Amino acid sequence: MAVRGEGCWIFASDGRRYLDASGQAAVVSIGHGVQEIGRAMAEQSGKIAFAHTTQFHSEPAEKLAARVLAIAPKNFQNGGRVYFTSGGSEATETAIKLARQYFLETKQPSRYRVVSRKQSYHGSTLGAMSVSGNVGRRAPYAPMIPEWGHVAPCFCYHCPFGKTYPECDLACADDLDAYLKANDSASVAAFLFEPVVGATLGAVPAVDGYTARIAEICRKHEILVIADEVMTGMGRTGKPFASEHWGLEPDIILTGKGIASGYAPLGAVIVSPRIVEAFEKGTAAFMHGFTYQAHPVATAAGNAVFDYLEEHKLFDRVTPAGKELRDALSELEGHPNAGQVRGLGLLQGIEFVKDKASREPFPKEAGIAEKVRQAALEKNVLVYPGQGTVDGVRGDHILLAPPFIIGKGECGQIAAAVGYALEKTFSA
């Protein structure tokens, strides 16, 4: 039972304390137990906790929207808007419907499919699952979810084409073009992808040139680009949004997790002026809504977290802290089963392989990722395990995504615990 949090640590009812090396699920950015956030939420709740968005705007939601837009890529300036949800899955649902209605507003009613990638995760509601490409998580619900098309991920370590970057000439990006040409592109509304793949691949950034090629292909086929930054947004990779590492200007960005650092359930759909204008010229009403969208107390938490990030210059802390974490993890790279250490900023992953030369994974039944998690726990360090890294079934990794306040000494503690976990798991 978690009873208290402070900084990068979680205290449990059994008296143990744990170093939160995963920010729970890449959620906690400013650290646990920051008292100002609760105070700001209580203050908002004391003024007004809830007002339905069909009748009122609220000051914290308006303020947070302006702040999020100000740090979004250039194309969101001058007329962008933000739609707040209660988390990432709701943000994905919202974006799917927004893309569909955009094409109704612009008189292209044939467009509705949202194409995405294999080995991706966009949420657990049925719409979000239809775009998620994780075969394991989809399988039980397959009859209930539409198949709109999934193309290759950008994943050099297990390239689906058996090629090597950069000689591959971005075959994975061109897979989208080939797919659209062969599969009724006139019915496609958008392409949705994670610029850095989090939970399903274990922190795999796009290679240079990938996002530009994707944007070009989407433009050619006149479909929208949606960047899922639920995990990577709000500073996690060293820029406010990971899209900015490559100058990508998506039509829509999804974010969540770090936007309120776990202090309140909050997600957001950041919408570029191009889409807003189409709605304004059309019906001017998005046929969608959640009771708790743009919740005053949740967005007050978002503002207080934003204040904290700015006051403590934590956006700037991510790149150096990420380097400290990576340096600490570098001592594990020599381990015969640590296939690859990878990531961007404070979103790092380690993939485990049976054989480093062939990159062959362990069988699923070996449960490697969970064993590593359990062993790290013995050293009081929390990591985020994932399976299905290679093809949705085989493959194991852990994700490391600590709060932005992580110190060098704590990075050393994480590396030592993971080192112990590797010895214990693989020498057994």
Ligand X SMILES: Cc1ncc(COP(=O)(O)O)c(C=O)c1O
Cα-Cα-Cα-Cα dihedral sign, residues 164, 167, 171, 172: positive
338: helix, coil or strand?
Answer: strand
Out of 215, 230, 259, 350, the only residue in the binding site for ligand X (CB under 6 A) is: 230
Can you tell me the distance from the alpha carbon of 361 to that of 353, in angstroms, rounded to the nearest whole number? 5
Can you tell me the distance from the alpha carbon of 382 to that of 141, in angstroms, rounded to the nearest whole number? 30
Interaction between residue 228 and ligand X (CB under 6 A): yes
Out of 227, 231, 234, 260, the only residue in the binding site for ligand X (CB under 6 A) is: 231
Out of 31, 87, 345, 392, the only residue in the binding site for ligand X (CB under 6 A) is: 87
Interaction between residue 122 and ligand X (CB under 6 A): yes
CB contact at 8 A, 379 and 362: no
Interaction between residue 256 and ligand X (CB under 6 A): yes
Out of 21, 30, 199, 248, the only residue in the binding site for ligand X (CB under 6 A) is: 199
DSSP state at residue 257: G
Residue 345 or 419 with smaller CB distance to ligand X: 345
Interaction between residue 195 and ligand X (CB under 6 A): no
Candidates 347, 345, 336, 360; CA nearest to 398 is 347
Can you tell me the distance from the alpha carbon of 133 to that of 118, in angstroms, rounded to the nearest whole number? 4
Interaction between residue 93 and ligand X (CB under 6 A): no
CB contact at 8 A, 295 and 57: no
Residue 89 or 387 with smaller CB distance to ligand X: 89
CB under 8 A, 24+ apart: contacts of 70-77: 71/240, 71/241, 72/240, 72/241, 72/253, 72/270, 73/241, 73/243, 73/244, 73/247, 73/248, 73/249, 73/250, 73/253, 74/249, 75/249, 75/272, 75/273, 75/274, 76/253, 76/270, 76/271, 76/272, 76/273
Residue 80 or 198 with smaller CB distance to ligand X: 198
Enumerate the β-bridge partners of residue 86: none
CB contact at 8 A, 41 and 304: yes
Interaction between residue 89 and ligand X (CB under 6 A): yes
Q: Which amino acid makes up residue 265?
A: P
Residue 80 or 88 with smaller CB distance to ligand X: 88
DSSP state at residue 40: H
Interaction between residue 343 and ligand X (CB under 6 A): no
Least Cβ distance, residue 92 to ligand X (angstroms): 6
Q: Which stretch binds ligand X (CB under 6 A): 207-215, 227-235, 359-367, 412-420?
A: 227-235
3-state SS track over 342-380:
EEECCEEEEEECCECCCCECCCHHHCHHHHHHHHHHHCC
Interaction between residue 121 and ligand X (CB under 6 A): yes
Residue 87 or 339 with smaller CB distance to ligand X: 87
Out of 7, 31, 80, 198, the only residue in the binding site for ligand X (CB under 6 A) is: 198
Q: Which stretch binds ligand X (CB under 6 A): 74-82, 87-95, 104-112, 330-338?
A: 87-95
Least Cβ distance, residue 53 to ligand X (angstroms): 20
Question: What is the x/- site pattern for ligand X, positions 266-295, by CB under 6 A?
Answer: -x----------------------------
Cα 407 to chain center, whole Å?
23
Q: Which stretch binds ligand X (CB under 6 A): 5-13, 111-119, 151-159, 228-236?
A: 228-236
Residue 202 or 256 with smaller CB distance to ligand X: 256
Question: What is the x/- site pattern for ligand X, positions 397-426, by CB under 6 A?
Answer: ------------------------------
Interaction between residue 321 and ligand X (CB under 6 A): no
- Interface residues with ligand X (CB under 6 A) are 25, 87-89, 92, 121-123, 194, 198-199, 228, 230-231, 256, 267
